[in-house]
Chain A
Amino acid sequence: MKRMFAPLVVVVALLFVGAPYLIAQAPIESTMGLVQKIFYFHVPSWMAMYTAIAVCGVGSAMFLFRGNKAADAYAVAGAEVAVLFGMMGLVSGPLWGRKAWGVWWVWDPRLTSALLMELIFIAYLLVRKYGGPGSEKLAAATGLFGAATSPFVYKSVDIWRSQHPKTSVVPALLKGSMAGSEIPFMVSAFAFVLFATLLLMLRTTLAKRQAALDALYLEYEE
């Protein structure tokens, strides 16, 4: 893991430098115009969030059912990174909506469920910070619940009538519905998911060191 870290940093830096150039070269969409380019980092930020949610969900389940403490470090890292990327999605989305829909926010199924999912992971972090001893288990249950809601958030645009573009936008784009936009999107998506992986590694290291510090405190007090 540690050996992978430095090359990953270099790859992420290169991708983040290259992505804006590629996004600038991508074609302009017919109805939304320039603002559609927010899509190239709005969707990748949700992809990164889902990656972090998956880590949090698996980590929470392993901690809850098997008592694996290392898994708990992954779970807390997943929750924190999920909140970060969720916030990016929740800020970039309304900036796009202001131009595309004429309003910053609508209480649409996708927007509302995405906001609730973000709040669940914020609740996870609050429970861990202020819940006192034993709050790790309660937080793990919250993490598991948050992970279970994520497929519904993703499919909400297909299940209910929504103003938000459907999930078919990305597959259609990758099939060439807007020639020239596939590479910028893929580079951006790859950069975001890789960046999320890096942050997960860093945050897991922090959680493990914090656990080591707590163990040292207990040892010292005894």
Chain B
Amino acid sequence: MMRTLLAAMCAILLSGPVFALQPPSAQSEYVPAAPGASTEQLPAGPLLVAAYAFVWVAAMGYVWTIGRRLTKVEDDIRTLERKAGKASR
């Protein structure tokens, strides 16, 4: 009985730091800034532009690779069909 009680106490005491070391709870909703309030310390413009530019470049780059691969596959199919046509004759 004593041992169980001691073990339970140890478990409670040891779990304390685990809960204490948790990060603060996250933001659950956004709140608009008061008009005229100062909101910027680190310039956000370059970060915003970089994120948007990356999205555009990645999207356009991917569309380009699909176009390139599709052209190559169609060329290969045409070449093979021509070869197969000659071989059958």
- Which secondary structure characterizes the binding site on chain B? helix
Q: Is A36 part of the binding interface, using a Cβ–Cβ cutoff of 8 Å? A: yes
Q: Is A96 part of the binding interface, using a Cβ–Cβ cutoff of 8 Å? A: yes
Of all chain A residues, the one with the shortest Cβ separation from B77 is: A213
Total B residues in contact with A, Cβ cutoff 8 Å: 42
Give the distance in Å from the alpha carbon of A210 to the alpha carbon of B66 in the complex. Answer: 12
A166-B73 contact, Cβ under 8 Å, with A29-B32, A35-B47, A216-B81: no
Closest CB of chain A to B62's CB: distance in Å? 5
A residues within 8 A CB of B44?
33-35, 99
Within 8 A of B (CB), among A188-205: 195, 199, 202-203, 205
Name the contact of A28 in the complex, choosing from B28, B39, B47, B73 (C-beta under 8 A). B39
Partner-contacting stretch, out of A63-71, A121-129, A134-142, A156-164: A156-164
Name the contact of B83 in the complex, choosing from A30, A87, A202, A220 (C-beta under 8 A). A220
Name the contact of A163 in the complex, choosing from B26, B29, B52, B74 (C-beta under 8 A). B26
Of all chain B residues, the one with the shortest Cβ separation from A83 is: B62
Residues of A within 8 A of B (CB): 20, 27-38, 41-42, 45, 84, 87-88, 91-92, 95-96, 98-99, 108, 157, 161-166, 168-169, 172-173, 177-181, 195, 199, 202-203, 205-206, 209-210, 212-213, 216-217, 219-220
Residues of B within 8 A of A (CB): 22-34, 37, 39-40, 42, 44-45, 47-48, 50-52, 54-55, 58-59, 62-63, 66, 69-70, 73-74, 76-77, 80-81, 83-84, 87
